[in-house]
Chain A
């Protein structure tokens, strides 16, 4: 990648995520007949939190402090692996899709460890749920990545994009559409959205992700919220590239990406605004169902003898 392309990638990765989150929240508010918070509210929240002092519980250790930092760092590095504007990313190597999944897991692990570090039974309960749901999300993610990468015979995202059929890939090959559906479920699960979790609830006993970060405040909480926004942005970028033709590089690519991101965020808002949460014991079934769909896709690829 050229230096300007890397710079554009960094600008998009660092600045755009809160806006995408703002769009999802806005669409959800519209569906309820409300005006909703301003689109730029997530930026204001981050500024406010960064201006506060850090307060950490007396019984907590470095693990609690490391949770938000490692969580944010992991998704930012994962963002360097995913092509944004154009078909390439600043970091790319054979097997980078495995690194991508591993980085998401690393963030999850540290968020859970920080929650357990507080010693609160609420947070422990949230970590337990996150561990269980994470275990059910990962097979779906890996199978989607397999669906994307098998045609290219390479575990590298840039190669996978390059090997796609020209034009709109899912029109030529419906398995891409299947991959997109499963990836959307993974996106909802990874980002703690309805129907898996409810980011807007105040009821601790029902929370999965939110309850794990209850004790974080000030800059720590800013890192957590920013990390959540980046995670949504990065996985949505993957989804956008799956559905759109290989985008041009440069500013045109950036605009195409942002339009796609807005559409994905809007879809998240529509889901959040129109269905209830699943009962907690039903979540694994939902996630396993998504993974099974992807598994069928992979089986079809093998059956056609062209994996």
Chain B
């Protein structure tokens, strides 16, 4: 079945009037057809206003990675009229449909697990009961973890159904970190929006700032100057290196392997310090602004950065060897928490988690923006879909990002750092895609007739990937849960927003 879709490169604004509208009744069929043609779901996000006839209008965004195009459809949901759930044919839609149902009262019929993402009984006494999935039978026991955890991490509740030490099912209940980021962003003065976008997931500040700025620039019809594009790329890759290195160290810590944990943990700090040199913030906050970057890099600073990169790179290689050469570590990583390629595809996983399962999906190659149109970073992938594959993909990405950073620092040149950003064009919509370290970060924005921002939706990669963790645990050991969890290291705040 052919579906009317408005296709455009990611990060290119499209007039809302050109985006075809479709009734919710045919949405599932349309999505199935798009998927058969090689597309995957990026987001389902509410648009502002009430469509003629009442109900809700939502922007459905899909991406055809091979064609380097993003497609948009406007779906109209009528109040109280059940429609065939997209999730029934496309499991990757499950969280999006649950959220639209929870927030806007859409009624997906035959959604397999229609349960609120955020407003659940533990948070709101008296909320409609939505019991956890339960396994019954002799020898079955339940383990509940969280929402308050040992260690300095975010809150989330995990419900494990176990037979002895074997996990039969894991259900993940989040929502404790919901801050209303999108609503705050829409209500805020334009100058404040960047700070809110950066706070969606604190460990992915650069990625979210970049996606936000790309969306704002696309709506205004401008592009950042080349020197700024280079520095944006350097910052994004430094963020990736720091996060991957830190997580490799944490993986070592989770299996009690001290050499890896101690050395990689220290090196994460070194990489964050490079980001500090570049932006004045260890997490890269405040560097990327609409139109370009706030700070340039003069010759001396560039030399200093390159000089500091050398020892970091050398130590990283030594530390990675210590980690990946240890048989006791490999025996823990290999075969643990396997996500099969087909499952990863069905759940719409993104980022290293998807690539470790053999999916070749990387927004830097498939939907490039800025400097990534000129400097190609090879996509790192694995086959096994286990903790080892996720760790190895991350290490490969660290090495390739280091090469990129080195090359781009050599290219840093004088020139304007920002382009003036005019007012946004009225009645347009954009989907900006950035490959953050966890995977594809999507910022969707739409403007009203007066050019004011009327709709905004952030899709952190965690929103796609939490379901992957739930699947990874099946048939694994209870005691391997922390290790599997760390191999994904998803953001609670990014999911809950």
Contact = CB atoms under 8 A, between A and B. Distances in A.
B313 to A, nearest CB: 19
Interface in A254-301: 272-282
Nearest to B254: A203
B142 A198 contact: no
Contacts of A195: 256, 328
A205 B485 CA distance: 12
B143 interface: yes
Given A121-B141, A121-B144, A276-B332, A206 B258 contact: no
Contacts of B311: none
Contacts of A276: 252, 255-257, 326, 328-329, 331-332
Interface stretch (B283-291, B355-363, B472-480): B472-480
A157 interface: no
B331 A34 contact: no
Given A121-B144, A275-B326, A277-B332, A32 B150 contact: no
Contacts of A274: 258-259
Contact of A277 (B256, B266, B478): B256
Size category of the binding interface on chain A: 20 to 34
Chief secondary structure at chain B's binding surface: helix
B255 A205 contact: no
Contacts, number: 83
Interface string A190-216: 000011001011111110000000000
B479 A282 contact: no
Question: Looking at A205, A272, A282, which has the most chain B CB atoms within 10 Å of its CB?
Answer: A205
B477 A32 contact: no
Contact of A28 (B144, B165, B258, B336): B258
B151 interface: yes
A279 B332 contact: yes
A171 to B, nearest CB: 31
Interface in A178-234: 194-195, 198, 200-206
B135 interface: no
Given A125-B478, A280-B165, A204 B256 contact: no
Interface in A102-125: 121-122, 125
A31 interface: yes
Given A32-B262, A278-B328, A282-B331, A121 B254 contact: no
Contacts of B332: 276-279
Interface in B325-347: 326, 328-329, 331-332, 336
Interface string A241-265: 0000000000000000000000000
A206 B328 contact: no
Contacts of B259: 31-32, 273-274
A33 interface: yes
Nearest to A279: B332
B153 to A, nearest CB: 10
Given A122-B143, A195-B328, A279-B331, A205 B481 contact: yes
Nearest to B261: A32
A200 B256 contact: yes
B33 interface: no
Nearest to A34: B262
A129 B162 CA distance: 14
Given A277-B255, A279-B332, A205 B478 contact: yes
Interface of A: 28, 31-34, 121-122, 125, 129, 194-195, 198, 200-206, 272-282
Interface of B: 141-145, 150-151, 165, 252, 254-259, 261-263, 266, 326, 328-329, 331-332, 336, 477-483
Return the 5 tightest CB-CB contacts between A and B, nearest first: A32-B262, A276-B257, A277-B256, A276-B328, A198-B256
27 contacts: A32-B261, A32-B262, A194-B256, A200-B256, A201-B254, A201-B256, A203-B150, A204-B145, A205-B143, A205-B145, A205-B479, A205-B481, A205-B482, A206-B483, A275-B328, A276-B329, A276-B331, A277-B257, A277-B332, A278-B332, A279-B331, A279-B479, A280-B165, A280-B477, A280-B479, A281-B477, A282-B331
